[in-house]
Structure 1
Amino acid sequence: MNLHSLKLFYQVAVTGSFTRAAEIMHISQPAVSSQIKRFEHELGMALFKKEGRGVVLTNFAEELLERTKTLIASEKYIETFIEEYKSAKVGTLHIVATYLPANFLIPKWAALFKSENEDVSLIITTTNTKSACEQLKNYKADLAIFGGLSSEMSAEVLYEQLFEDELWFVVAATHPLANSEITLKEMVEESFIMREEGSSMREYLRSICHTHQVKMPKVSLQFSGINETIRSVKAGYGASLISSLAVREYVENGQLARVYVQDVHIPHNIAVCTRRNEKQSTLLQKFIKIIKSDFK
């Protein structure tokens, strides 16, 4: 069945005029008449009958019109969906992030984005640095936001630093090393509480030990989240290496304390990552714009 002819029929039926239908469809009136006749021949059914100076629908055409209204409404819905998607009013954005940005940064950005894009779905997944990179590379995410080493990134990933955080060695406020200044060799004699293998904190600690030629400390407790790590350190067991973004409040209110390690300053980059050489969608551009505006 010719859908163009069906739409012509619809316009003639609802306007009651071949001339008006021609104006709406931007073709000549004779062309409308000719195409309607061909459509009737294709269907093997009459659609219109003359009544005075105008035309009226046949019984078959009246039933066809009711069904055609659903089709036309669906077409308009699809056209609206396409236009809204192109203008980034609808759609889905998949964001993958490591724990720090997922808990301390993204909630604000997501709220700002949703306030302007209510019908856009945001799917935010928290994982470690290695997994975040893999999900981005394998098209399971549109954007990766993480705190970690740029060396984790592959050539397929475009890495853009947002700001530089700092990593702190921390212990409980009652720990013998609280607020003390020691060497790295002394620090690594402590039992550590860390995130799992593949986390940026773990990789940072390994890199620091390698650079200063000291052994990697014993990781006595391992958690999949920073909150659990912080609570264990607060309880008085062991030490940890954690972003100042996550523990600054605990240090300032006296629940945790820093350990100052001589000659060790550990910058921690927070970065936004996209797939290299790929045109970004309008949705993605809008979200990244919100992120960057927050750091201006």
Structure 2
Amino acid sequence: MKISKSNLDLNLLTCFKVVAEKGSISYASSVLHLSQPAISLQIKRLEEQIGKKLFDRHNRGLILTKFGDRFLEKTHRLLEIQNDLIGLVELSDSEPSGQLRVGTYTTASSYLIAPAAANFLKQFKEVGISYTYNESKYLLEQIKDYRLDCAVLTDVPADKNLHIERFYKDELVFAISTQRKESKLKSISPKDLVDFDFLSYPLRFDLCYKTVETKFGTYLSKSRTVVETESFDTLKQMLLLGSGATFIPKYLIANELQNGKLSTIQIGHSKLPIEFAFISKKNTELPKRTERFRETLFKFFPTPERAVD
């Protein structure tokens, strides 16, 4: 079957675009939340529809054919037009409506931005929020592909296609329950970390945790790991129960530090700053729901000088 106006599937084009830009089906699988066989099938269907080969297969991945390279350029233009049409319809509405698609971390949606989100939903009754959780690099790609409206993330590198507005500064702290005798320590040297029962967070999502590994990994690898989890809620509960110590964003335990259930220990002279940013696609007029969410979020985190990339 050859492609025609009646059977042009934009979902196939979106899949092709993601695969083409990275030359990787496994990467596209993570971004699109589809299995690798499903991605391969979509590429095959598109090639069959247009009657042209889009990729050459190599051991090191997929490489665009000469035609595939030209086809990618036109695909970019078509998907941009699709988004402009959707945006035009949304901007014509008097009030924000529809589903706001936000990429972030589970902890950020549960703790950091939850009050702002609740206020936003109270104001705009026709809008819902859908959160997507993944590694930052995948979420940023989804903004570029218009599959997310915005994201709230940390440590986002400058990107010519993204509008990055930093709005909240925090830090990773080494926290411990005041039930434990080590909590009386005000500071320790990095080598003293080997003596602690450690609550480990696998270094998969945040650049700041890769910084922890770079600075302290040698010592942490020699400590006793009592719990390993990707859930900050689990880490926090184990902290409160006195099971060990861990590096954790300060905003997650602010109340527990204030009421004396937890304390922090300084590790040498090291600081582990975190800076949250609101990210949207650059040079694109935001839908009303996205713009109103941005405004609401910034009201909850006022800052005299907001850094923008």
Query: If the length of structure 1 is used for normalisation, what is the TM-score?
Result: 0.62
**Deviations along 1:270-289, whole A, 9 cap, x unmatched?**
21111233332222111111
Which amino acid counterpart does residue 251 of structure 2 have in structure 1?
A: L
1:290 & 1:122 partners in 2: Cα distance?
14
Which amino acid counterpart does residue 230 of structure 2 have in structure 1?
A: S
Other structure's SS at 2:182 match: coil
1:149 & 1:84 partners in 2: Cα distance?
31
C-alpha change, 1:95 and 1:250, in structure 2 (3 Å) is: same
Aligned to 2:120: 113
Question: Is 1:194–1:202's contact at 8 Å kept on the other side of the alignment?
Answer: no
C-alpha change, 1:162 and 1:84, in structure 2 (3 Å) is: closer
Other structure's SS at 1:250 match: helix
Aligned to 2:163: 158
- Note the residue ranges of structure 2 that are not aligned, 5 or more in a row: 1-88, 303-309
Aligned to 1:260: 266
Aligned to 2:68: none
Counterparts of residues 84-95 of structure 1 (less than 5 Å): 86-95=93-102
Other structure's SS at 2:183 match: coil
Counterparts of residues 19-38 of structure 1 (less than 5 Å): none
Counterparts of residues 1-296 of structure 1 (less than 5 Å): 86-146=93-153, 148-151=154-157, 156-180=161-185, 181-200=187-206, 202-209=209-216, 214-217=218-221, 219-296=225-302
Other structure's SS at 2:147 match: coil
Other structure's SS at 1:227 match: helix
- Note the residue ranges of structure 1 that are not aligned, 5 or more in a row: 1-81
1:83 & 1:260 partners in 2: Cα distance?
49
**Deviations along 1:144-189, whole A, 9 cap, x unmatched?**
112x3234x7554332211211211011222232141111221255
- Give the deviation of 1:250 after TM superposition: 1.5
**Deviations along 1:81-128, whole A, 9 cap, x unmatched?**
x58853343222101221332112322222222233211222123445
1:207 & 1:175 partners in 2: Cα distance?
27
Aligned to 2:67: none
1:209 & 1:155 partners in 2: Cα distance?
33
Aligned Cα RMSD in Å? Answer: 2.8
Question: Is 2:102–2:148's contact at 8 Å kept on the other side of the alignment?
Answer: yes
Other structure's SS at 1:139 match: coil
C-alpha change, 1:208 and 1:136, in structure 2 (3 Å) is: farther
Structure 1 moving runs of 4+ over 6 Å: none
C-alpha change, 1:255 and 1:118, in structure 2 (3 Å) is: same
Other structure's SS at 1:263 match: coil
1:121 & 1:189 partners in 2: Cα distance?
47
Which amino acid counterpart does residue 121 of structure 1 have in structure 2?
A: G
Question: Is 2:91–2:287's contact at 8 Å kept on the other side of the alignment?
Answer: no
Larger deviation, residues 241-250 vs 167-176? 167-176
Which amino acid counterpart does residue 170 of structure 1 have in structure 2?
A: A
C-alpha change, 1:144 and 1:289, in structure 2 (3 Å) is: same
Question: Is 2:117–2:297's contact at 8 Å kept on the other side of the alignment?
Answer: no
2:198 & 2:137 partners in 1: Cα distance?
21
Which amino acid counterpart does residue 284 of structure 1 have in structure 2?
A: T
1:131 & 1:190 partners in 2: Cα distance?
34
Which amino acid counterpart does residue 285 of structure 1 have in structure 2?
A: E
Question: Is 2:155–2:276's contact at 8 Å kept on the other side of the alignment?
Answer: no
1:176 & 1:235 partners in 2: Cα distance?
14
Aligned length: 211
Question: Is 1:167–1:241's contact at 8 Å kept on the other side of the alignment?
Answer: yes
Q: Percent identity?
A: 19
